[in-house]
């Protein structure tokens, strides 16, 4: 028992997403319980984690990697409706299927919990529900923020908005300011970007070239972006140069 408990502490204690995931407020005993119903799983880039028709037997936290939530119309048009990043939660308690296809964009490492026992734990652990509510409200705000991008922004503003999100995330990680040079790796292909932005890949390509030509961004290669001045990028995104950027 002692051994098990120690093992858990080592595992969860070292976990990168420990302080942000659903389990962030769990105490040792709750982590013990979680440990009995959890397993880790790796999904290769491009593989489907869950599909709309199929039942799903687990819920999970993304530990590393990126996954996309995709909606598809019969004729093949697709729209990415969300991006799952490390610490994000997969699955909806109380439902046995997902509302959109979840596809691994990069290799994804997940901490999975068997659905049924997780829901039981949820039922007797209010703070878990609280955490889930917090996360869901954040997701909702992000989704609505993105609705403005999809509904009202031009192609150039859309690209700038997407890059602003990546730049913002990178800036937070490296504690940089809006005046500093920020750089980040582009984990999405042109096609994935077009699906996220409601554009075609040609338009994505053209607008990226245009931003590059105008010196808003530098592109040492196709998957790496350097932003000399974040405020300028934010202006291009149609945002106030300080606020309004989620995720």
Partner DNA sequence: CGACATCTTGACTACAGTCAATACTAGTGG
Partner DNA sequence: CCACTAGTATTGACTGTAGTCAAGATGTCG
Given the rule CB under 7 A, which residues bind DNA?
Answer: 154-156, 189-191, 198-206, 208-209, 219, 221-223
Question: Which of its own copies, DNA, none is residue 202 near (CB under 5 to 8 Å by kind)?
Answer: DNA
* Residue list 72-91, contact with its own copies (CB under 8 A): 73-75, 77-79, 81-82
Strands 218-221 and 78-84: unpaired
Contact with its own copies (CB under 8 A) among 141, 185, 202, 242: 141
| Least spacing, CB of residue 9 vs its own copies, in Å | 27
Q: What is the dihedral of CA 32, 21, 117, 39, to 10 degrees?
A: -70
* Residue list 212-231, contact with its own copies (CB under 8 A): none
Question: Which of DNA, its own copies, none is residue 137 near (CB under 5 to 8 Å by kind)?
Answer: its own copies
| Least spacing, CB of residue 163 vs DNA, in Å | 13
Count of beta carbons in the 10 Å neighbourhood of residue 14: 8
Question: Which of its own copies, DNA, none is residue 147 near (CB under 5 to 8 Å by kind)?
Answer: its own copies
Reported as type and span, the H/E element at residue 34 is helix 28-36
Question: Which of DNA, its own copies, none is residue 156 near (CB under 5 to 8 Å by kind)?
Answer: DNA
CA distance 207 to 199: 11
191 touches its own copies (CB under 8 A): no
CB 63 within 8 A of CB 109: yes
Q: Which residues of 116-146 are buried (b: 16+ CB within 10 A; e: fewer)?
A: eebeebbeebeebeebbeebeeebeeeeeeb
Q: What is the dihedral of CA 211, 213, 217, 222, to 10 degrees?
A: 90
Question: Which of DNA, its own copies, none is residue 222 near (CB under 5 to 8 Å by kind)?
Answer: DNA
């Amino acid at each position: 028992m002692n051994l098990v408990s120690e093992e858990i502490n080592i595992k969860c204690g070292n976990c990168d997403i420990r302080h942000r995931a659903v389990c962030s407020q769990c105490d040792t005993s709750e982590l013990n319980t979680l440990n009995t119903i959890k397993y880790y799983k790796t999904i290769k880039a491009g593989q489907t984690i869950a599909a709309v028709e199929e039942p799903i037997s687990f819920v999970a936290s993304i530990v590393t990697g990126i996954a996309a939530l995709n909606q598809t119309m019969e004729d093949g048009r697709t729209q990415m409706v969300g991006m799952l990043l490390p610490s994000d939660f997969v699955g909806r308690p109380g439902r046995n299927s997902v509302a959109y296809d979840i596809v691994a964009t990069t290799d994804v490492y997940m901490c999975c919990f068997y659905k049924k026992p997780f829901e039981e734990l949820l039922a007797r652990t209010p703070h878990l529900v609280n955490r889930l509510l917090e996360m869901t409200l954040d997701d909702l705000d992000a989704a609505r923020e993105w609705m403005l991008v999809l509904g009202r922004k031009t192609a150039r503003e859309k690209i700038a908005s997407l890059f602003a999100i990546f730049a913002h995330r990178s800036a937070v990680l490296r504690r940089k300011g809006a005046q500093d040079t920020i750089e980040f790796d582009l984990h999405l292909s042109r096609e994935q970007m077009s699906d996220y932005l409601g554009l075609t890949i040609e338009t994505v390509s053209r607008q990226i070239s245009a931003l590059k030509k105008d010196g808003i961004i530098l592109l040492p290669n196709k998957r790496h972006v350097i932003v000399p001045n974040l405020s300028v990028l934010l202006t291009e995104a149609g945002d106030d140069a300080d606020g309004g950027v989620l995720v």
